[in-house]
Structure 1
């Protein structure tokens, strides 16, 4: 684990694997989550064949917190990626973006295409309104299962409204919190995704959460995250792979339809999986992603046991 000064700010960076191996940058979701979970489940797998670089984004978790007065916005997260690449002496690298990290990965690839070899979008969002409506529909189902019909109806009404991305996002955050411990039911199919958080004390995790809240609030205030970037997909010049769980509520059907129009895009749907394939089905996830990254272009690879489904051109067993 290391701290790098990236454009004047301390950024938490973890590097695994030999530096002679192909480099891969992991971008976590949120906004305001952490690379902790991905590293926990995938670092040992990736380090055999890749140089994995995972970061807590600017102002998040173990990275230096944001002050109330310093300039900060979405573009800072893009520029941090490029600055770090140069500091590490990496010519080009692949990027894996999970959830909001997929949004960020698409932005990064559109601004700095020559820095990137290929992109893996893991359960991404490219449009916060689409995602918020899908999450609200899933939340409605969870509320209904709990017998809270009024909240279920509220979610469904919001999901069919023409409210702004920001309003829908904020409404989902509020209603999701009202689910308490059942909020995870929205995202996960496989409950056995245990993770050891004992590397830090409860007090440290509370401090990390406070930084996350500030990070998210600053991005909300700027408002750029509420702009759809679906229109950037056709301009993506490098090979890409969309990996989603069949029960993922974040990458809704509209996202998939938009992605399917890409000439250089490939898709894998993992069965019996929710929003975190890297944690819910870690072995199969790694086999799929590593096969794509190492070959540079997608070819069908038999992974066994029927734990996934391919949707790709010219695929045959």
Structure 2
């Protein structure tokens, strides 16, 4: 279905499953929800009514003609989807970049949120970028002294990140930041074959000081129950990234996975998510 926002952007939304509603927020930034729906849907649909959203400017949703990709606008999109679907309260699940949206949505619209599920999520993109650069240099056999992110201007950090990514891709090593095997990457690539990537959204995010804030500092403000899933081999976010979180009421569950636990260890992922939902009802 299509949900038209108050500033006339058509958002692609799909719903599947039964039980408590749960909004899924994909990562990227600039990705889509289809791969998660394909790989994790059957795991969760008996217990959760999943709402799959492609964020504005991403996947099957429209670009914003007004080029409004601010954090407040993205959060308002989520709230307008909830109101359009007539959902009183839902869980919000954010993967990767989507975790940043999920937590900020819960801060801005607390009465709409039953609980938060952060799956391999970043709440400090500068830190996650620095980890990818360091791990990338290690894979390339280059020097990889620790990076002081406070010394980096965002444009310089982004340029260094993309330079490292290009070198990794030339050596067919980039997949190692997210996947444990090339076969896992190929499974995801098959699903993503129809993804028409538009650069506008990602370019805005990667050039915006707003999104590179340290959102870890806001975690003590969250009063809702939180499930934090992390991957022991996730070098897109950093396997220890969650150590700086300070939620009031949180369960921390490291999984034997890379960046996509619903691909690497689906039963572990299902058990953690459904267990959290049942415990927080």
Deviation, 1:111, is: 0.6
TM-score by length of structure 2 reads 0.90
Q: 1:136 to 1:263 in 2, by over 3 A?
A: same
The number of aligned residues is 276
- Return structure 1 stretches of 4+ with deviation > 6 angstroms: 196-200
Q: Which residue of 2 aligns with 1:5?
A: 4
Give the alignment partner of residue 236 of structure 1, picking from 222, 239, 242.
222
TM-score by length of structure 1 reads 0.80
Deviation, 1:256, is: 2.4
Q: Which residue of 1 aligns with 2:152?
A: 163
Is 1:121 aligned to residue 92 of structure 2?
no
Matches of 1:186 and 1:240, distance apart in 2: 26
Q: Which residue of 1 aligns with 2:53?
A: 55
Is 1:266 aligned to residue 258 of structure 2?
no
Structure 1 residues 14-163: aligned runs within 5 Å: 14-18=14-18, 21-67=19-65, 69-144=66-141, 152-153=142-143, 156=144, 159-160=147-148, 162-163=151-152
The CA RMSD measured in Å over matched residues stands at 2.2
Deviation, 1:158, is: 7.3
Deviations 1:247-289 (A, max 9, x none): 1124436632222x33311100112x11111222122211211
Structure 1 residues 189-208: aligned runs within 5 Å: 189-193=180-184, 194-195=186-187, 205=195, 208=196
Matches of 1:198 and 1:185, distance apart in 2: 18
Query: Which structure is larger by alpha-carbon Rg, 1 or 2?
Result: 1
Q: 1:253 to 1:179 in 2, by over 3 A?
A: closer
* 2:187 aligned counterpart, secondary structure: coil
Q: 1:71 to 1:252 in 2, by over 3 A?
A: closer
Deviation, 1:226, is: 1.2
Give the alignment partner of residue 186 of structure 1, picking from 158, 177, 193.
177
Q: Which residue of 1 aligns with 2:276?
A: 292
| Gap runs ≥5 in structure 2 | none
